[in-house]
Structure 1
């Protein structure tokens, strides 16, 4: 059986961290095969979402119905792995029922925690399911300890996922001033925004990922073959143009190429690349990070298996012998194969300013 969690009520009053180094590996699943791949390759926890706007990866053909979740929870728990449900979009005032129903379903099916962003939904969970473990989603945009402690005091959250805009020193400062467990992103698509605050997709399409669950909704995406090359557009806005044979990514405004000078067309906001923090594992562990999150619920089971296996080996080696830990060349090569643009970065973790 999986290692049990304390309830969020108990954790709210816990002022000391767990004994010994703990660094959970939290892996994505957009389908039942992906969930099983994560479990089989060493994930400690797997996070997933329902097939609706209650989660921030609401793509057609992705996510779980209730039967698949029940199957996945059973499969994971039999192998000592925990399941988290992401309910990390924001309910609308005219119809909060789907989000509240999703919380009820999560409890009924036996998930180990729910990942929430909306304070109103947290309040509903606390009132109706006081023993349910609550994690603050990265979509909650908590970038400082005051915000995290507010959610702890008001709703009893026991873990917070930090946005990918903080330096290592800032992460350390947050951990030093809260008893809430801190989870950080370790690998996957890099977001240069403070998650939960990006309005780019909403500006162009009228649908925010915070409410509809999709950045660049598929219905607004169009591809056109032109004499100048293949074009990708979002609600009519030209995002990128690709030369013959050039790899074409899914069109999002933040990763489009634009005219930034008289003779320069480049990635003006963010270059397609993946965050990869393998080399930072000893530092993250020493400062007290509780969990490493892998991004990619929209990716294939093969991606999940490959990335989970590498990170399982790396975390185990780091915890066993942190002073002699170093990322293996084979690990980095394996991750680069599935990275955006086949390149990686340390992102904000390594920026020279604070």
Structure 2
């Protein structure tokens, strides 16, 4: 379903709270994605996400600007919890959300049967990487869009754009995951809790911070030391994959260095392929991150739409994104790998 390159790609931005949502809308997001304050979404951190009253306010603000709001219901409920997830679909429809983002086929089927007017987007958590998988979801539950996993090369994305029956959304900026889009066996191994069901890597109940006499801090997950930070060293939310470990005589990021995906230089190629939307990761980040990252991407996309033949990546955009990247490092990730 390759779209014409003349159709501008939509910019889909994160909102972990109402100030972040308003920042995204004010900075040029075409759509914002958010979650309820429970485990129905894959960013179920304490203090994050929206009450129904906040969602009502945010959706009204978005619609007043002609923008959209998508609600993430992208974790996997078991039989006992399915009614609660279905109730969240009902509330999304009642609140006026423009789409839900879901991975569980039973939940998508429920949404298709009970709220056919509510658009259904296939979450990245569904790990649909082939035209056949996309076609199945389209034919069975009527998805309108699919978010592709961050494991595909640019050539694979281009081929899917040519064969997909639905519009495609790809991640453009933000954290990477070395697992199959959040299906973290490392976290499950240490805690016994599945991120795909609980809604968060490193569930807070298992995280413990300890201050040391020299001012440094240690962080453990279920008793296992995964990192130690100096007194003046910034510390992000602890995850097993981005911890530092002793391997032989050295201590380093043995599994994954903190770094962020940044595909801005690929805007022309993604647009020409027919990608429908670019997604910014970061519902766990603050309003300043959302505002500045959204503004940079809005400027870049508008500049491309206005004069694609002479579009060039600007240093100011690159510097802003690097400042908000994990470890102040960026990568093209799997997009630029040699094999595909």
Aligned to 1:32: 18
76-85 vs 184-193, which moves further: 184-193
Question: Which residue pairs with 2:27 in the alignment?
Answer: 41
Match of 2:75 among 69, 79, 89: 89
- The alignment status of 1:345 with 2:331, answered yes or no, reads yes
Instruction: Indicate whether 1:162 and 2:145 are aligned.
Output: no
**Unaligned ranges ≥5, structure 2:** none
Alignment counterpart, residue 296 of structure 1, candidates 282, 290, 297: 282
Q: CA deviation at 1:121?
A: 0.2
How far does residue 16 in structure 1 lie from its aligned partner after superposition? 7.6
Shift of 1:218: 1.2
Query: What corresponds to 1:237 in structure 2?
Result: 224
Larger CA deviation: 67-76 vs 220-229? 220-229
Q: Distance in 1 between matches of 2:2 and 2:333?
A: 30
Once the two structures are superposed, the pairs formed by residues 236-255 of structure 1 within 5 Å of their partners are 236-255=223-242
Residue 149 in structure 1 maps to residue 128 in structure 2: no
Cα distance, 1:18–1:286 mapped onto 2, change above 3 Å: closer
Name the counterpart of 1:314.
Answer: 300
State the distance in 1 between where 2:80 and 2:293 align. 40
Paired with 1:41 and 1:204, the residues of 2 have a C-alpha distance of 40
* RMSD (CA atoms): 1.5
Which residue of 171, 182, 190 maps to 1:204? 190
Q: Secondary structure at the match of 1:172?
A: helix
**After alignment, is 206-215 or 290-299 more displaced?**
206-215
Q: Deviations over 1:194-242 (max 9, x none)?
A: 2153222111111111111111111211112336842111111111122
Where structure 1 has 5 or more consecutive residues not aligned to the other structure, the ranges are 1-14
Distance in 1 between the 2:242 and 2:5 partners? 42
Between the aligned partners of 2:4 and 2:36, the Cα distance in structure 1 is 31
Contact kept in structure 1, 2:172 and 2:263, CA below 8 Å: yes
Please state how far the C-alpha of 1:248 moved relative to its aligned partner: 1.8
The 8 Å contact of residues 89 and 118 in structure 1, kept in 2 or not, is answered as yes
Cα offset, 1:172, TM superposition:
1.0
2:117 to 118, 128, 131: 131
How far does residue 22 in structure 1 lie from its aligned partner after superposition? 2.5
Partners in 2 of 1:167 and 1:18 — Cα distance?
A: 21
Secondary structure at 1:271 match in 2: coil
Query: In 1, distance between residues paired with 2:139 and 2:5?
Result: 23
Q: Using the TM superposition, give the Cα deviation of residue 92 of structure 1 relative to its aligned residue in structure 2, in angstroms.
A: 1.3
Looking at structure 1, the residues matched to 309 and 263 of structure 2 have their Cα atoms a distance apart, in angstroms, of 17
Distance 1:247 1:19 in 2: 41
Q: Residue 191 of structure 1 aligns with which residue? A: 177
Separation (CA, whole Å) in 2 of partners of 1:16 and 1:306: 30
1:61-119 deviation line (CA, Å, top 9, x unaligned): 11111111111111110011101000000111122111000000011111111000100
Pick the aligned partner of 1:50 from 36, 55, 59: 36
**Retained in 1: the 8 A contact 2:170–2:279?**
yes
Aligned residues between the structures: 339
Retained in 1: the 8 A contact 2:35–2:41? Answer: yes
User: Normalising to structure 2: TM-score of the pair?
Assistant: 0.96
Q: CA deviation at 1:326?
A: 1.5
Contact 2:3 2:275 in 1 (8 A): no
Cα distance, 1:19–1:345 mapped onto 2, change above 3 Å = closer
Instruction: Give me the TM-score of the superposition, normalised by structure 1.
Output: 0.92
CA contact (8 A) 1:138 1:196 kept: no
Match of 1:22 in 2: 8
